[in-house]
Structures are given as C-alpha cells and as structure tokens.
Structure 1
Amino acid sequence: MSGRAAEAATTVTSALLREWPLPPPGSGKESRGRTLVVGGSTRTPGAVLLAAEAALRSGAGKLQVATTRTTAAGLAVALPEALVLPLPETPGGGIDASAGEEDGELADLAGQADAVLLGVGAVGEPDVCALLEAVVPPLSTTVVLDALGLAAVTRDETFLHHLDGRAVLTPNATELAIVLGAEPEDVERDTAGAAVELARRSRCAVVAGGGTSWIAAPDGRLWSDPSGGAGLGVSGSGDVQAGIVTGLCARGAEPVQAALWGAYLHGRAGDRLATEVGRLGFLARELPAQVPRVLAEVEV
C-alpha cells in the first residue's frame, strides 16, 4: 500500500452514474434477475433480512434466501416475497457445511441464481469456509462475499479467480485488514490503497471504507464516495450495502458498476435519513426503503 492511491480516485457523483446507467429493468421479475442470499445464524438472523430486503429495494426481481433451519420460518414470515430454504445447523447455530453438498438444493439454487451473496450474519469460520469451498467453485454466476464470507479469500486469494472478475467483496475496515494480513492501523491510514491491493490480489471489485467508501476495480481503477456520514457506522449497515450490490448484480449490472452504484445508493440513503432523523441514530433497517428514492433521483 503506497499511501498515494487516494490521490488518483474519481469521486462518485450522480452525473457519473448517469453516464454508466444500469441495465433496463424489463417488465417482469425474471427480467430483473434471481438473487440468492446465503447466511445468518441463530444469533444473527436479522443480517439476512437486511441484505435480502436491500436487494429487492435495489430493483432485483426474484429473491431466494438460504439460512439456518431454526430461523427460516420466522424469516419467511418477515420476507413474504422470498423463497426461504432451511439449512442444517451446527451446534453453534451456524449453517452446517453439509448444506453445500453438490447434489443438494442449495447448490441447485446457487447455480440458477444471477447473483449470490454469501456470508452475511454467518458464524463459525471453519464451517463457513467449508460451505463456500463446496458451493462457490462450480458457479459461473456473480458472487458477492461479505462479513465472514471473506474468510475464504483470506485463506486463498485465488478463491474467486475462476469467475474472471464476476465478483464483489464488501469488507469493512477490520475485515479488509484481516483479508490482507495487514495491521489495522495501516489499513485505517490508507484504506484506498488497501482496497486497490485486495482488488488486485482477488481479481474482484472491492467496496471498502467507513466515512468514505472506496471502490476498487481489479485493473487498478479507484473511486471514492464521501456520502452517508457517521450515521452509517451502525450495526447492520454493511449487510444493507452488500444486499444492494447483490441486487444490482442480479439486475445485470457489471460487478464494478454494481459496486459504484451500491456505494452511492447506500451513502445517499444515509444522507436522506440524516436529514429526516438526525446525523446519528437512524437504523440500518431504515436504509432499504430509501434506496428506490435515491435510484429515482439518479435516474431522472
């Protein structure tokens, strides 16, 4: 990390996004893609709810969720728009790696999805890695990894190379340091450079940061988005951003394009709530409902 990457960044604006418009939505749910969200645990079932709703709010057409058997029924009630697949659990309340069996229903859903998000709300690193190592390698669809899903890339930076760039990583600053094997203070000092380095190593688009989001492409391009403010530093906010990015990928956006739009939509949703609620104190669950409004503002 050179410390100079930020100087080369382009600022994300609505004008920039209008020059790179999202694919036309079409008239039916199938035309806007199938999204699959895989994650959750008995301790953190809400992360999947936040990500899944955010995917729909960003315009995805068909939603599928795979989560722990104990929490699946409650999630199905909270998300009546979704197909919810209950998966076997570990004693610790996470998803058991056996759920990723090659001929299983999860593998079938993942293979048919246009975009798959893995890791939100997941617990138990060995089991999560084993699950991803079973589910992801056969895929040719777009993959988004968040939270503990990034552990697979921490173990093997080539894990997503077979996707030829059809992947997005959405780490927070702590996760970014862990994946790179870097000191947290170094990443905090040069988050832009860290994002560029992870994009280069993983061959994925990367959305990282706190007050300012940094979006890095595998070819070295870099953008910054200062929107959102301190209010986005709240539990569940990252799950919402990962869901937005995944929903945009399902709609047919290129991974780097989805990362740019996702960072902007997430940040501007935070700006809207800062005006309506206050600079601090709005909740992650309030963000998804703002996304269609921000989309409308950009696409005018």
Structure 2
Amino acid sequence: MPSRSEVITPALLRDWALPVPTGGKEARGTVLVVGGSRFTPGAVLLAGVAALRAGAGVLQLAAAESTAAALSIQVPEALVVGLPETADGAVQGDPGDLLGGLVAEADVVAVGPGLKDIDATRALLHVVLDAAGPETSLVLDAYALGALSHEPDLLVGSGRPVVLTPNLTEARHLLGRKPGDDLDADAVELARRYDAVVSLYGHIATPEGRAWREESGDAGLGTSGSGDVRAGLLAGLLSRGAEPAQAACWAAFAHAVSGQRLVPRYGRIGFLARELLDEIPYTVATV
C-alpha cells in the first residue's frame, strides 16, 4: 500500500509561513557552504548564491584553495576561504583549524556540493560535526551523503537539525538498494534510518513519519547543478529561521516553481541551473 503524504501547495505553505527576521544581516544568519574541488567550483557558487537568494544574511564559502580567488570574484558578497587540496584536486579531509572556526560560528552549514573523494569527504564531515554546535543546522548533499552511507549511525540520537538532500543515485547508496516506485515510503525509511529530515526528489519526510510531496517539478530541473541550487536554497531558508521540515517543503516548492517560471523563455528543457537563482526571491515572496 503506498505511503500517505500531503501535497505541498501554496495554501499549505501560506499556513506554514516562513519567519521574517527583522534587523540587520546577522538576524538572517550565516550560511557556510563546504564543498568544491579543483574541477567543480561551480557547485559551491550555485549553492551559495541560492542561499543568499533565499534570504541568508551572511554567506561564507570554503572550497579547494586553487578555486578560492575565482570564487571570491564571482561571488563578491561572500567570504571565501581556500582549503588544502589533495593531488587530485579534492578538498583534504583534515583541512586545519580554519574550517573548524568557520563552522563553529555559522548558523547553517551545507556540506557536499562539488566535493570529490569519498574518504576525504568522510573525514571532512567529521570535522564539521565536531566543530558545529548542537543547534547548528546542517544540509548534507552529494558526496556528504555517500560518506554518511558508510556511517549510518553518525547522526542517530544527536538531536541535530539536519536535512539530507539525496537524488535517486545517492538514495540508492543510503538505502542499500535501488529506490522503489513509492518514493514517499523511501523518504520515510531514510528519515527514520538516519534520524534526519529527508528531501528525496520532491518527497519530504521526518524521522517521526510525517511526509509531504511536491508535484510541480518538471523535466527541466534534471539538469547539471540543479541539486546544488536546491541544497543552497534549503540552507538559506534554514538560516532565516525555518525549521528543517518547513525549510525542506518550501525549498522543494520554490525550486520547482522557479523552474516553471523559466519555461516560457526556454521551454521545458534547456534552461540552466544558474538561471533558477534569479527566480527564487520572487517565487518565495509570492507563494
């Protein structure tokens, strides 16, 4: 029997309104994106700008040191820190004390966009978890999810506010099997197993078994970098004060509807992930 989930609609989101912080940028929180490699700095850029577009007050990017200068030019709004690299251009698993200090001061840490090397990512994830405070919200994406699949009890019982954002391939690693036809059930299984909110291909679940689904997504979202935008969008909503399930539902809807808004200009397929970024503020504001 298929799992039961609630469809995410504008009416549902209006009744679950996002916090609207008052005051300066500090009131909207600091997002730190940890990711990138020598060959994939764009993932960090997309996630970081999406976080700002969703309302984060302060953005910090920590990526492979060979990309830091270019990222600081491309995203002048952000503090950009270069992390030591392996010979293959991946971020090292033990990047030194600087990253720990950034994690400790951040309100939200998104780990994974653009990372390579599963062993280095596992070590990096431990650095983040050791440095993060108990109230620091975490978004785990891409290779960070692969790392988590090797240590499935890593978050269990921690009480941390965490959202996992697997695609279908990453869900296979986390589940230990291919996802089935009932993605609602798979999302609930993952949420319970890893003790975190899960956003799986528009299907959101909590460890307690609550579930929602987003039905506005279209084929155009299946494009390179789209998942990085979604992870950053989610981090930005957490930074402005949303709780994990709320942020996941709003992010899934805003991601999908931002894609819909591009269809008249580019068709159902053919728009780029970076073009989603400019649609996010209007989409969120007009739910």
Question: What is the TM-score of this pair, normalised by structure 1?
Answer: 0.92
Q: Do 1:133 and 1:152's aligned partners in 2 also have CA atoms closer than 8 Å?
A: no
SS for the counterpart of 1:168 is strand
Which residue in 2 is equivalent to 1:246?
A: 235
Matches within 5 A, 1:202-241: 202-209=194-201, 213-241=202-230
- Identify the residue that residue 255 of structure 2 maps to in structure 1: 266
Residue in structure 2 matching 1:40, options 36, 50, 60:
36
**Structure 1 position 190, deviation (Å):** 2.4
Q: Which residue of 1 aligns with 2:193?
A: 201
Alignment-derived partner of residue 120 in structure 2 = 127
Report whether the alignment pairs 1:284 with 2:273. yes
Structure 2, unaligned runs of 5 or more: none
What is the CA–CA distance in structure 2 between the aligned matches of 1:98 and 1:19, rounded to whole Å? 44
Distance 1:163 1:31, change over 3 A: farther
Distance in structure 2 (CA, Å) of the matches to 1:57 and 1:244: 7
Q: Which of the numbers 107, 113, 131 marks the counterpart of 1:114?
A: 107
User: What's 1:51 paired with?
Assistant: 47
Matched, 1:275 2:271: no
Task: Name the CA distance, whole Å, in 2 between partners of 1:198 and 1:153.
Answer: 12
Aligned residue pairs total 285
1:275 offset after TM fit, Å? 2.5
Cα distance in structure 1, aligned partners of 2:252 and 2:19: 17
Q: Give the distance between the partners of 2:157 and 2:60, measured in 1 at CA.
A: 24
CA displacement, residues 72-109 of structure 1 (integer Å, 9 cap, x when unaligned): 1000000000000110001111101121x4xx111111
Cα distance in 2 for partners of 1:135, 1:23 equals: 26
Conserved in 1, the CA contact under 8 Å of 2:27 and 2:240?
A: yes
Find the counterpart in structure 2 of residue 178 from structure 1: 173
Distance 1:149 1:121 in 2: 10
Of 17, 25, 28, 1:21 maps to: 17
Identity of aligned residues (%): 48
AA partner of residue 145 (structure 1): L
2:244 corresponds in structure 1 to: 255
Residue 287 of structure 1 aligns to a residue in which SS?
helix
Gaps of 5+ in 1: none
- Within the alignment, does 1:295 sit opposite 2:280 as a pair? no
Amino acid at match of 1:73: A
Report deviation, 1:26.
1.4
Corresponding residue for residue 89 of structure 2: 93
